[in-house]
Amino acid sequence: MSLICLSDFEAYAKEHLPKATWDFITAGADDCFTRDDNILAYRRIRLRPRMLCDVSVIDTSTTVLGKEIAFPIGIAPTGLHCLAWPDGELSTSRASDAMNTCYIASSYSTSSAEEITAAAPNGLRWFQLYIFRNRKLSEQLVHRVEALDYKALVLTIDLPYTGKRRDDIRNNFRLPKYLTIKNFEGAFEGYDGPEEYGAPINTLDPSLSWKDIYWLKNLTRLPIIVKGVLTKEDAELAVEHGVQGIIVSNHGGRQLDGVPATIDALSEIVNAVQGRVEVYVDGGIRTGSDVLKALALGARCVFIGRPILWGLAYQGEEGVQKILQILHDEFRLSMALAGCKNISEINRNLVQFSKL
């Protein structure tokens, strides 16, 4: 079977993964309006290509926080990769390195931060952090990933509580006994209460507030990126609190249903930030022209979540590489057809909004 676009991998994953795993990956919150709108919103945007621009040579390379990547498409943090492929995050880590992009490893990985590093020691890795009620545990994790040469901390701020994902509730979703959240190994020994995605419920600290950014900054020399900003007000606060980057994200529509598609929220945040920090976006990116639209609207780089899990389900490391290669190829072609030779030529004039 020849898989040539990301939706081919989606169909493959749906057919081959166990239903509870497929549902976990696919889930959005409540009625899934926001999850679905993340994709539909890209279709409402039209491109305004320029012609006769000599596009014989196209350069897709860029930088994120000063590190060069081959194309502006990174890997968003998603948990539990070993559900999709036996060595899960290790395959993801190797594929990201091979494709020369950036992998944001999830706190809720089924491989440890150490194992992910060992799989591709030279790869560009950021670490996604949730802050735990047990702050000592968070502190230890920060120090571990610093020592492991992760280049930034990505603090997820849209999950004081887990959104209501109906299929996971219906399936009574549990991590199989042979898997654990490796970063927490030993931390919850003896715990016998209810679990959520492999950790005790109430592990995360819902009292988190902006002042905790200062707490985190005091703990680490790593740059901090906040993930989950959807308004100009929070973008302003993020900059004021000294973060180095913002990911415009609605967690793939898995948290508050009814918030805007991320591509619709992006401009407001880019305008508020005015270039003071880097702005990235995730959610619903499925084609190279989606990437072009996101960059035209001011994102420095996009990140993809579910498609990486479809790639893993298809063929581990090779599958993830294929996903990244396809998106990279499509993005390069979209740039050329729109008249852009390099990333700096992509700007707001490339897009118009349609009423469709």
Footprint of ligand FNR (CB under 6 A): 24-25, 38, 76-79, 106, 108, 128, 156, 227, 249, 251-252, 254, 282-285, 304-306
Exposure of 264 in the CB half-sphere (CA atoms within 13 A): 17
Nearer Cβ to ligand FNR (305/319): 305
Nearest residue to ligand FNR by CB is: 305
Q: Find the shortest distance in angstroms from Cβ 89 to ligand FNR.
A: 11
Q: Determine contact, residues 27/167, Cβ cutoff 8 Å.
A: yes
Question: Tokens 């559900």 label which residue?
Answer: 83
Q: Find the shortest distance in angstroms from Cβ 177 to ligand FNR.
A: 20
282 is in an annotated binding site: yes
What is the spatial distance between Cα 217 and Cα 213, in angstroms, rounded to a whole number?
6
Helix, strand counts (H, E) of the chain: 12, 14
What is the spatial distance between Cα 33 and Cα 258, in angstroms, rounded to a whole number?
6
322 is in an annotated binding site: no
Q: Find the shortest distance in angstroms from Cβ 125 to ligand FNR.
A: 14
Helix (H) or strand (E) holding 74: strand 73-75
What is the spatial distance between Cα 75 and Cα 305, in angstroms, rounded to a whole number?
6
Nearer Cβ to ligand FNR (13/346): 13
Question: Tokens 């020369």 label which residue?
Answer: 100
- The helix/strand/coil state of 234 is helix
Nearer Cβ to ligand FNR (72/79): 79
128 is in an annotated binding site: yes
Q: Find the shortest distance in angstroms from Cβ 282 to ligand FNR.
A: 4
194 is in an annotated binding site: no
249 is in an annotated binding site: yes
227 is in an annotated binding site: yes
Q: Find the shortest distance in angstroms from Cβ 51 to ligand FNR.
A: 32
Dihedral sign computed on CA atoms, order 128, 251, 244, 41:
positive
Classify each residue of 124-134 as buried b or exposed e, where b means 16 or more C-beta atoms within 10 Å of its C-beta. bbbbbbbbbee
Nearer Cβ to ligand FNR (102/340): 102
Q: Is 251 a catalytic residue?
A: yes
CB-CB neighbours of 23 under 10 Å: 17
Closest by CA position to 284, among listed 6, 91, 35: 35
Catalytic residue, candidates 16, 143, 241, 251: 251
Nearer Cβ to ligand FNR (142/340): 142
Binding residues: 77-79, 106, 128, 130, 156, 165, 227, 249, 251, 254, 282-286, 305-306
Specify binding-site residues for FMN: 77-79, 106, 128, 130, 156, 227, 249, 282-286, 305-306
Q: Which positions are annotated as active-site residues? A: 251
